[in-house]
Amino acid sequence: MKAILRSGFLAFAIMALVVPADAGPFEDGVAAYDRGDYATALKFWRPLSEQGDADAQSELGGMYAIGRGVPQDNILAHMWFDLAATQGHEQAQQRRDIAARMMTPSQIAAAQHNLGFMYEKGFGLPRDYAKAVAWYRKAAELGHARAQHNLGLMYEKGLGVPHDFVRAHMWFNLAVAHVHEEAKRDRDRTASLMAPDQIAAAQANLGYMYETGRGIPKDYAEAVKWYRSAAEQGFARAQFNLGQMYRRGEGVPQDYGEAVKWYRMAAEKGHAKAQNSLGVRYAKGQGVPRDYAKAVKWYRRAAEQGYVYARSNLGNMYEIGRGVPQDDAEAVKWYRKAAEKGHARAQNSLAVMYAKGHGVPQDYAEAAKWYRIAAEQGYADAQYNLGAMYANGESIPQDDAEAAKWFRKAAKQGVANAQLNIGSIYRDGQGVSQDHAKAVKWYRMAAEQGLAEAQFDIGEIYRKGWGVPQDYAEAVKWYRMAAEQGHAGAEYSLGVRYANGQGVPQDDAEAVKWYRIAAERGYATAQFSLGFMYYYGRGVPPDYAEAVKLYHMAAEQGHAGAEYSLGAMYRRGRGVPQDDALAYMWFHLAAAQGDMSARRNRGTMAKRMTPNQIAEAQRMAREWMAKHQQ
């Protein structure tokens, strides 16, 4: 390639160059352009352009772009830039992109059509039917009617593509939709040479073009019309696509029953996608009564044809035992078949089986391998799972930064648990710089999806004022959301706010209510706090026996404050018979967890106990610890 020319006005004009002594036609054109002799420059560059010289094509495009020596014409400018760009000419690529920003899609399509025509006819370019087809297709997919017509002719005649009446008929039909009379004549001529099943296939293709907006404005109603026409002729692919339109409610009212009807017609003809979709409807009970055995039947038919989605679905049915006896080994078999064909969901499911040792020996390395394969395809659940493996150091070195990377990818796709984890990573500064504002951002995303743990964590951040102004009322709002979903920590924290009058009016009865709810879920700190309320008679009548009962419940879970309080109850004989040995034992257990008050009280108890009593209390403490550490 010759020296790259820099451009001026609108990035198209040519700057003066020093022409070397052994100048050729291209350089002669440059010299003429620099003198302002655009007609002579055109005389040199046009033949070079038609012979495929990329530099000349780029400069000829520039002349059309700004109208020097030729009428200004964005379409011809784009055409010549495109020709040079396809040869890897970087400056032409840049110029083409600049020109495209000043053009409508129809103008770009016209330029592409012109290139196709030049290649087809050999006008100014070597004749090349394959390149003609490529350019016609680009223009046709932008809705250029003449390109659609010409592309249809190329398929009809087998020029640059295999002879194909079905595709020819489809492209003619698209051109007819743009009121192209010549295409109508050619469509009708082609139709007279086609078998009924070929016409149905062309109609189905036309429906797809309307559904996806390729070559024609997207129009679901028109897509349904063409799918229905082909479907009523028994064309299985159209029957499946019509079922899809009814399932999604596109171009027709959503109707699962009607979707099932069309899926079944296609499925019975052996259409694998329809068989899988019919299985899904039976599994979900959409349009038919839920029937897992029938779901399995249709999944199996599609799976045996190699349809990967059905293989994955069949694996899932074996894993959970729906419609078939539960069989992890069989689940692994079908997951593997789909995974090895690149199905990301099956890859993730296979990884889960390896991680849990279900149907295969437990193998974290193999799990990590399959998670990574699926994650690199962008499968969000696998990205989350791979992040968890890095966070936990399972089979791969523990790596907070790598965990954060994969959690972030999954979080951006809306995985609530990933958003929660990336929020915690920013809160704690694990693998990233600590940033409470970012933590709140990610927690909020997860919380707004209804994840109770994230709602609780936002409450904690507002309570503590981490990265946000401290705001008890806002904390209460988020605690309440989590509490209403049964989050024990949030229930307890809501109780504390009522007990202390933080963000809500002080209300011991309401505090007791929330402590009790959390306590009944086994939340040790709530059990201890509820015991405290009974001890002091706050929100409930004083009741030492009930307080002891609740302290015991919390102490069973190793709550140091409850152990200390039990020591105090036994020392004073409140709610239980006075017992120095048991008082010493509970103080000893709390002291072992670092409770300094318990340590002092244990010393006080020891002064009034005999050595034998102390030894007995220590024995009871050892037995308790041994029992509760198992």
Q: Please give the Cα distance from 571 to 577 (Å, whole number).
A: 9
Per DSSP, what are the bridge partners of residue 14? 7
The runs of H, that is alpha helices, within 54-128 are 54-66, 74-85, 90-101, 105-121
**Whole-number pLDDT of residue 22:** 55
Return left, alpha or beta for 101; rule: phi > 0 is left, psi -120 to 50 is alpha, else beta.
alpha
Residue-wise pLDDT for 206-215, tens only, equals: 999 999 998 8
Is residue 105 domain-resident? no
Kindly indicate the confidence band of residue 181, based on its pLDDT and cuts at 50, 70 and 90. confident
Kindly indicate the confidence band of residue 361, based on its pLDDT and cuts at 50, 70 and 90. very high
Is residue 277 domain-resident? no
Phi, psi of 7 (to 5 degrees): -115, 155
Is residue 477 domain-resident? no
Residue 17 has pLDDT above 50, yes or no: no
Rounded percentage of the chain residues whose pLDDT exceeds 70: 96
**Whole-number pLDDT of residue 6:** 33
| % helix, strand, coil for the chain, step of 5 | 70, 0, 30
Is residue 186 domain-resident? no
Is residue 609 domain-resident? yes
CA distances 598 to 524, 532, 583, 601, Å, are 19, 17, 10, 5
**Whole-number pLDDT of residue 183:** 83
* 69 contact partners, CB below 8 Å, separation of at least 6: 38, 39, 41, 42, 63
Kindly indicate the confidence band of residue 16, based on its pLDDT and cuts at 50, 70 and 90. very low
**Whole-number pLDDT of residue 283:** 98
**Whole-number pLDDT of residue 5:** 35
Residues 216 and 182: beta-carbon distance below 8 Å: no
Per DSSP, what are the bridge partners of residue 7? 14
**Whole-number pLDDT of residue 533:** 98
* Count: domains in the chain: 1
Q: Please give the Cα distance from 579 to 573 (Å, whole number).
A: 7
Kindly indicate the confidence band of residue 14, based on its pLDDT and cuts at 50, 70 and 90. very low
458 against 21, higher pLDDT: 458
**For the chain, how many residues are written?**
630
Q: What is the arithmetic mean of pLDDT over 499-524?
A: 98
Residue 21 has pLDDT above 50, yes or no: no
**Which of 204-208, 283-287, 333-337 is predicted least confidently?**
204-208
Q: What is the mean pLDDT of the chain?
A: 92
Q: Is 7 helix (H, G, I), strand (E, B) or coil?
A: strand
Which structure tokens are listed for 169? 């008929």
**Whole-number pLDDT of residue 347:** 98
The runs of H, that is alpha helices, within 488-591 are 488-500, 508-520, 524-536, 544-555, 560-572, 580-591
Residue 4 has pLDDT above 60, yes or no: no
**Whole-number pLDDT of residue 544:** 97
**Whole-number pLDDT of residue 7:** 37
Residues 134 and 169: beta-carbon distance below 8 Å: no
Is residue 603 domain-resident? yes
Q: What is the arithmetic mean of pLDDT over 555-581?
A: 96
Q: Please give the Cα distance from 314 to 312 (Å, whole number).
A: 5
Is residue 576 domain-resident? yes
Which structure tokens are listed for 10? 């609108």
Residues 14 and 33: beta-carbon distance below 8 Å: yes
Which structure tokens are listed for 532? 């405290």
Terminal C-alpha separation, the chain: 78
Rounded percentage of the chain residues whose pLDDT exceeds 90: 80
Residue-wise pLDDT for 466-502, tens only, equals: 888 999 999 999 999 999 999 999 999 999 999 999 9
**Whole-number pLDDT of residue 630:** 56
- Cβ burial 98-136 (10 Å sphere, 16+ → b, else e): bbbeebeeebbbbbbbbbbbbbbeeeebeeebebbbbbb
Domain ranges, residue 572: 558-630
Q: Note the pTM of the prediction, 2 decimals.
A: 0.73
Cα 367 → chain centroid: 20
For tokens 């599994």, the residue is 283
Is residue 533 domain-resident? no
Sign of the torsion angle spanned by Cα atoms 425, 427, 428, 431 = positive
Residues 269 and 303: beta-carbon distance below 8 Å: no
Under DSSP, the state recorded for 9 is G
Q: Please give the Cα distance from 530 to 553 (Å, whole number).
A: 11
Residues 37 and 28: beta-carbon distance below 8 Å: no
107 against 180, higher pLDDT: 107
Q: Please give the Cα distance from 452 to 489 (Å, whole number).
A: 10
Q: Please give the Cα distance from 443 to 481 (Å, whole number).
A: 13
Q: Please give the Cα distance from 67 to 71 (Å, whole number).
A: 5
Residues 182 and 212: beta-carbon distance below 8 Å: no
Q: Please give the Cα distance from 95 to 179 (Å, whole number).
A: 33
Q: Please give the Cα distance from 330 to 314 (Å, whole number).
A: 9
